[in-house]
Structure formats: C-alpha cells, structure tokens
A and B are shown apart, each in its own frame.
Chain A
C-alpha cells in the first residue's frame, strides 16, 4: 500500500494526531491535531511544558497508548512510506523495538524489576532477529558496553543500578535492534548535569553511526540546542510553532515561544528549565475557545479568543499558530 503524496517524501510524517483520554468521567484532550515531518538521519525536538501532550504523541506513534484509559486516537503516521496507524497490530508489533523504538521518560520505572538487565535487552534482540539465546545475550552485553556499563553486570537486576545507569540500560535496550526511528522521551531529565552531557553525546554518536532519525522530547532548550535540527513547540496538545532550530531560537514568532526564551536565566547558566510565563497551562479537560494560549498571552484580544487559530507561514518552513505573529 505505497502512496506517494507530497508529505510522504519525508521519512516520518505525522498528520492530525489526536489523543483523548477518559479520566473520572471527563475527556482529557491531550493531543489536538499535531502534524510534523522528519527526514532520515535528522532530529526533531518536541518542546513544551509538563502536560503539553509530548509523551502522548510518542505513545500514539508507537501505538502503545493505554487501552484502559484511551478514549480516542486518530491521525495518520507515515513511516518510510507505510501508514503505521492502519496496519494490523501483529505487523505493528514487528516494527516496534525494531524499526522504531522508544526511550522512556522515567528510567526508575521503565525497567522490569524482576528481570535482569541483559535479559530485558536480549528479549528485544530475539524478537526481531533470528539469533538464538546465546547470540542475543552476547548482543545485550555488547550494547551494555556500548553505553558504558561493564558486561560483568549484565546479569544484575535494575535495583542494583543507579538512576543514570538505568537510563543507559533503557537507551541500550532502545538501540539494540538498530532502529530507524528513535523516540527519546526526556532521556536526560532524570540525570545530573555531567551525566546528561555524556548521555546526549552517546545518543548523538549512536545516531550518527546508524543514521537514525530521532524525536527528542524535552522541556530543556539546552538539549534542543545541542541535538535538534527542527523544533516543534507544543502547547496544550497542539504544535504552536514549527521550524528549523535556527528559526525558533533566533526568530521566535509565537508569544509562548518568546516567553520560553525570556524565561531562561541566560543561555550559559546551568539552569535552563522553562517555566516563568504568567498563569497556568490550560486544563486539558476544558480547553479555552480560540487560541489555547490566549488566557496567558499579553497580546491577546477578542479575535484570539473567538475562533481556533490555524498555522500560518512566517518564512518558508517556519510556521506559527498566532494571529499576531510575527511580533
């Protein structure tokens, strides 16, 4: 079912992704029509506050949203010319961990406490290659060495590792089958600054070696600066600004993005976390009408609060969801 349209020239193309959860009788509108593209070997950064819907986007691409609480999930994901949202689960399972894989946000809980780390890595290897147990174990140990963990410790269990080492194990697991697309969900937030740099360097090196495409999810603009080619700024489940890293960093157009950079205490200081934009992110069970940033926006007027705002092009390849842009 190959379908060569304009978008599918890209290695990955996500179109109109919607994710809604059911929670205590309410519908949580976590992702509301997200679209972006990614080319082979490139990295896109998904940046946004906590609760913006970043992890939900990642899980939706992997098709591992939790059955029990997912209310609705729609959209189209073209990966390497194949619409992976519509293939049968069995086919999708063969791609997961192989063609596309994911590094989970919280290394403390991402590993199964009752299986040795090597076992957990080897499992993925065995599922996606015809290697036997011994070969898979060998590969698992090689992967551990690659992320800087001695193969002697392969048979130890997650509780015997520090947080940073667990994060490395998670990375080794995600990379064990040479994925073509790697989704890294805040791979460094759980780590201290020095380890952060090491881990990022490691991911970058591995990525280059395998020519892997990557979705880097983070709320750390420093990480974006170091790893990404393009950036999508996510706010309340929507892409509100999208473009090359240089566009976003040098010429931010959306008041929210501008706020993000203003909130930084100076790019060479160690603390690069986002936050101080006045007000709170909107409640995903009750999104405001019009632009969802309008309640917090210093430039908003009545027009902003009336109708949904579409994406408009600022310069070629740089788009923004704001009536006032560029400021």
Chain B
C-alpha cells in the first residue's frame, strides 16, 4: 500500500523494492560493484548457496558481509580472472512489505548468461553466450525514507556444475 514520505509524496514500498532490484541488476552487469554496494546497508550479508543432492546438503559457495565484499571487489584487479561478461536476467516474483517494521522481503528469478571473451580459446569462443547460472535472488530490505537498502541477498542457485566459476558477485 502506498505510504506518505516526509515530503508528502506517496511512496509505494513494493515498487521501490522492485526498482532497487532491477537497478542493482544493471549495476552488477556493468561491474559497477561499489555503486551496487551503495544500495546495501552497513550490515548487509551476501551468500551464494545451493542444495546439493550429491551430498544431501545445503552448500555455501560464497558468504561475505559488506566489508568482505568491498575488499573482494577492491582486490579484483590483482587477480587473474575470466573476463567474460555476465548478463543477469532478473524477474521479481514476490515482494512482501512489512510497513510497521519498515522492512521487505523479495524473491526474484535470476538467470545468468556468460558471453565468452577470454576464458577458453577466444578466437573460437569469444562472442558466444552460454547459460551460466539458474537460480533465485532472495533479498531482504530495510525501508528508509524513499530508499530500499539491501539487508541481505542470498543467491540460491540450482547449479553444482560450475566449471571455471567466477571471481565476481552474482
């Protein structure tokens, strides 16, 4: 339900959440990591997880807090990496807003394509797009003023075959 903000305008919190998820998708695709982190609360927690029917366990492939992520992306230029760009296709499925708690939870479908650049034999493969990841974003938000800030993001992927993997946040 729309809510009045301090300037007397109507703010639709669910729309704000959706907008934040979509803008973040663009920032992540552009590898503008710090601009993405600017949408994250100081207590932000990030994780990539999957269910592995092979070992019958939930597996955590990466887990970092906001500082950990900031350091990780800062050090990226020091690392050798596969520079094949990732393109995320996000569809927000549900947004549940708790106006009283000024929080929200959203579940989005995310599909990540990798367009090969330098990972294999660039002469042959560069320019080819492959399906890289299939999963969901499970996000929680803090609503403040006219912003929705990420409190947590769980990237819950289906894949356990990850081949070369990636150095980047998904």
Q: Are the chains A and B members of one assembly?
A: no
- Residues of A that sit less than 8 Å from B by CB: none
